[in-house]
Amino acid sequence: MTDRLRIALAQLNPKVGDLPGNLALARTALADAVAARADVLMFSELFLTGYFPDDLLFKPQFVRDAMQAARDLAADTAGTDVVVVLPTIWWDKNGLYNAAIVAEKGEIIATRFKRELPNNDVFYEKRYFTAGPLPDPVTIKGVPVGIPICEDVWHASVCEHLAMRGAEIMLCPNGSPYWTNKQHIRKELVRARVAEDDVPMLYLNQVGGQDEIVFDGASFAIEPGNKLVVQGKSFATDFIVSDWVRSDDGWTCANGEVTELTTTDEAPWLACVLGLRDYVHKNGFKQVVLGLSGGIDSAVVAAMAVDAFGPENVHCIMLPYRYTSEASLKDAKDCALNLGVRYDIVSIGSPVDEALEQLAPIFGDRPADLAEENIQSRMRGVVLMAVSNKLGSMLLTTGNKSEMGVGYATIYGDMNGGYNPLKDMFKMEVYRLADWRNSHVPGDCLGPAGEVIPQAIIEKAPSAELRPDQTDQDSLPPYPVLDAILKGIVEDELSLAEIVAQGHDVALVQRIERLVNIAEYKRRQSAPGPKLTPKAFGMGRKYPITNGYKDRSI
């Protein structure tokens, strides 16, 4: 039995379903572990398949291929002194498991199965996996090591069982998504387990975007006495090596590096940039295109795109009509110049007017209304999709959570696009981040420093500019009020009476609730975007389109 262990945590960015690509990442990490003279190398949850594979798990060939990839990596440990802890799927006669295999000297020496299967708004593991028994420790280099997998540490029984069975160190692989304050929530959870069991825990989380989920990494280790001894990078890949020494008081970290976490101000921007970058790149695109209207939302999306891909890979297009103001034309151009992107102007005047002329016999003498306004938005969508198709760029859409909440968006128009970075961000947060980005260049972002979003865009009243002198507040309450009501309805699931008790007008609350309910069909057809809160539209909040429920609390 050794009294020293060098443990490497591979905080990497796998791609769901890409077994060869993920295996290649694992092999590179194994080589890095050998070079670092590590005793143990751990990967994040379901690393080989990517987290989460959803109904790929129903494909028997996918299961067979994944298990073979795991055996291939296990074989690669031959001729090394590294013990690999590889989370992956594993099948036996009792079912399919979310598992971790332990490999040494070219052989699989142990398998452990996840006991507690989450069944919440993001991951429905009970749909796919069989729950494992309470796991026993695995002997690694003579040391009894517990391997609780992700959700297992949220339930005291698993770690308690491992400690009672003699585990001296806990290695916990995770696929834990980001949302606001999630990094601190994880730490408090692990602190509780360490305090209860008096055993140090190394918590490894994956990093990267997968459809609507963003994994923020930020792996760490805590030892008894509430000591944070290791902290990995946030929103970036990392290879974290730490030395652990046994004494009469148990295992302690001899030389862990603690990297400063991203701030709560910076984290939402980095989450959106990482989610956008991975969605575009993992789906085979290199460039993006978007409509730049001179408004706050498209300006912020353009800045995020430049941070994700660099200005040379971002194409912005202004699509004016007769109601587009001179201020919007100037602001859009200034924003494009600040960001250094390609900027084109494509007028939609002639095609919109031609459409209205052709529709006149059908519309008759009915007064102009949303039908005419939506033709403008849909014509912009047609032009942007044409550019996307012709040039091979992914179209980004730019609606925020406030607008999507009440349906203040045109389906098949400004909702067109493959990805929406602002989908889970209320309007006032968009403004806050615009101000923040103008004074910060965060993380590994590729955009310029300084004022990237013109102050005129931040200060002016928002408008769709679909009719003369239009502003958003013609149809909606001021955004601070709207966001507060939407937070009550969407984020907090409050009754209407509870929201009114916060000081909001009864009729307004009832109107907003109605708008939220009738816009569900639009949201079902909206582009995916990064999940920043527990109640993101789509993965975090699933309401029926046809819905007869009425809140009668007021």
pLDDT digit string (tens) for the chain, length 554 residues: 689 999 999 999 999 999 999 999 999 999 999 999 999 999 999 999 999 999 999 999 999 999 999 999 999 999 999 999 999 999 999 999 999 999 999 999 999 999 999 988 688 999 999 999 999 999 999 999 999 999 999 999 999 999 999 999 999 999 999 998 899 999 999 999 999 999 999 999 999 999 999 999 999 999 999 999 999 999 999 999 999 999 998 999 999 999 999 999 999 999 999 999 999 999 999 999 999 999 999 999 999 999 999 999 999 999 999 999 999 999 999 999 999 999 999 999 999 999 999 999 999 999 999 999 999 999 999 999 999 999 999 999 999 999 999 999 999 999 999 999 999 999 999 999 999 999 999 888 999 999 999 999 999 988 877 888 788 777 899 999 999 999 999 999 999 999 999 999 999 999 999 999 999 999 999 999 999 999 999 888 989 999 999 999 99
Specify whether 150 is catalytic. Answer: yes
Binding residues for ATP: 291-298, 398
Angle between helices 60-76 and 19-35 (to 10 degrees): 20
CB 267 within 8 A of CB 180: yes
Whether residues 228 and 300 share a domain: the answer is no
Binding residues for deamido-NAD(+): 374, 403, 522
Binding residues for L-glutamine: 176, 182
Catalytic residue among 45, 125, 168, 212: 45
pTM of the model: 0.95
Tell me how far apart the alpha carbons of residues 215 and 208 are, in angstroms, rounded to a whole number.
Answer: 5
Q: Find, among 450, 463, 512, the residue nearest to 485 by Cα.
A: 512
Q: Find, among 224, 246, 205, 244, the residue nearest to 51 by Cα.
A: 205
Note down the domain range covering 446: 267-469
Q: Which of 253, 276, 304 lies at the terminal end of a domain, its last residue?
A: 253
Beta pairing, strands 143-146 & 169-174: parallel
Q: Find, among 490, 472, 504, the residue nearest to 424 by Cα.
A: 490
Q: Which of 228, 253, 278 lies at the terminal end of a domain, its last residue?
A: 253
CATH number for 340: 3.40.50.620
Could you say which DSSP state residue 82 is in?
P
Whether residues 367 and 224 share a domain: the answer is no
259 lies in a domain?
Answer: no
Tell me how far apart the alpha carbons of residues 213 and 425 are, in angstroms, rounded to a whole number.
Answer: 14
Specify whether 107 is catalytic. Answer: no
Specify whether 335 is catalytic. Answer: no
Whether residues 211 and 285 share a domain: the answer is no
Binding residues: 176, 182, 291-298, 374, 398, 403, 522
What's the total number of domains in the chain? Answer: 2
538 lies in a domain?
Answer: no
474 lies in a domain?
Answer: no
Q: How is residue 219 written in tokens?
A: 């792996």
Longest dimension (CA), the chain: 90
Catalytic residue among 104, 116, 150, 253: 150
Q: Which residues pair with 541 in a beta bridge?
A: 537
Catalytic residue among 15, 114, 531, 535: 114
